[in-house]
Amino acid sequence: MAAMTGLVKDELSQLPAGRTCCRRAEISALLRFAGGLYLVDGRVVVQAELDSGLVARRLCREIGELYGHPARVRVLPAGGLHTGPRYLVWVERGGGSLARCAGLVDQAGRPVRGLPPGVVSGGGCDAAAAWRGAFLARGLLSEPRGLCSLEVAAPGPEAALALIGAARRLGVAAKSRQVRGAERVAVRDSDAIGELLGQLGASAGALAWQQRQLRRQAPATTIASFETANQRRIAHAAATGVARVQAAMGLLQDEAPGASAGRGTAAAGASAGVAGRTWRVCRPADDQGRRCRPAAPVVGRRRPARARDGAADDISDGQPRTTRRRCEHYRTHLRGC
């Protein structure tokens, strides 16, 4: 039995006795969802198998006080699909009378598939008592980690529909689904689960559920803080890049890219080379604490043109003389950075 399920069942099993109609509705739902009718030597025997000793003692006490029939409890060891002990409550003497009074059979002796008519058409207190008995019998409350759910295994579709109607009268939306051939009534909304636990009488369980929900929502705040930190890093990096570009433009002054618009093709190529090396000059020192030296200037080579009138001296190594001088001037500035 899960931690939250055991906590809520222990609290519900220790609630004080309320009105007689509510006690009858709770016993009827508990016997309907956890029990069955058996014939032993021609006599009707009412049995209920539970997973909590407190719930078993509460059922025995209520049967004796309301209907006057003695009930016995037998402890079944853990085994098979059950990891914990099971408690078997049965009434042998006067089982037929108890079945009629609890609404398990009608006046003609035929089994009732759903809940008794008095519980189905009762008020809000009867609906809450029916849900309390059904949860004590076959309820399961999952931990609020993944998908939140409060489920009750129903013995049939008629009992599931009756439980859904009782939840509707309490203002809670419940749905029925079939899992491995068994009907289950489930409440999926986290706020609805907390409200339903409060109406059943498990105030401490509802408070624990809300606290665990708050702890579950804590990682969302952490993710939001991570996203904010990333945005701050991006903004800081952008501002640093702008400052470095402005410092480089201040060093180059008139020789900065764009200041020589309208000059020859060679001058434009040299300015583009200087602009391409700006990031290398302004980037921080490497891991050894040394500043990375700028790479050699990258200037687009131009195919030498035919010399006219002995003007071959103007071209050397595929670069105009004015371009070489300008590159040497840029290299001198860059080494001083």
Which CATH number fits the domain that encloses residue 131?
3.10.28.10
- Could you report the per-residue pLDDT of 148-203, keeping only the tens digit for each? 789 999 998 999 999 999 999 999 999 998 888 888 999 988 889 989 999 998 88
Write down the mean pLDDT value for the chain.
76
Residue 152 and residue 11 share a domain: yes
For residue 143, the enclosing domain spans 3-215
Long-range pairs of 157-160 with CB within 8 A, sequence gap ≥ 24: 157/183, 158/113, 158/114, 159/32, 159/33, 159/113, 159/114, 159/115, 159/183, 160/184, 160/185
pLDDT of residue 288 exceeding 50, the answer is: no
pTM: 0.62
- The answer to whether residue 33 is domain-embedded is yes
Instruction: Specify whether 295 is located in the same domain as 169.
Output: no
Whether 209 and 280 share a structural domain? no
- Based on the domain organization, do 210 and 262 belong to the same domain? no
Let me know if residue 145 belongs to a domain: yes
Position 173 in a domain: yes
Position 258 confidence tier, pLDDT thresholds 50, 70, 90 = low
The per-residue pLDDT for range 6-26, each reduced to its tens digit, is 889 999 988 887 889 999 999
Say whether both 208 and 75 belong to one domain: yes
Please report the pLDDT score of residue 223 as a whole number.
54
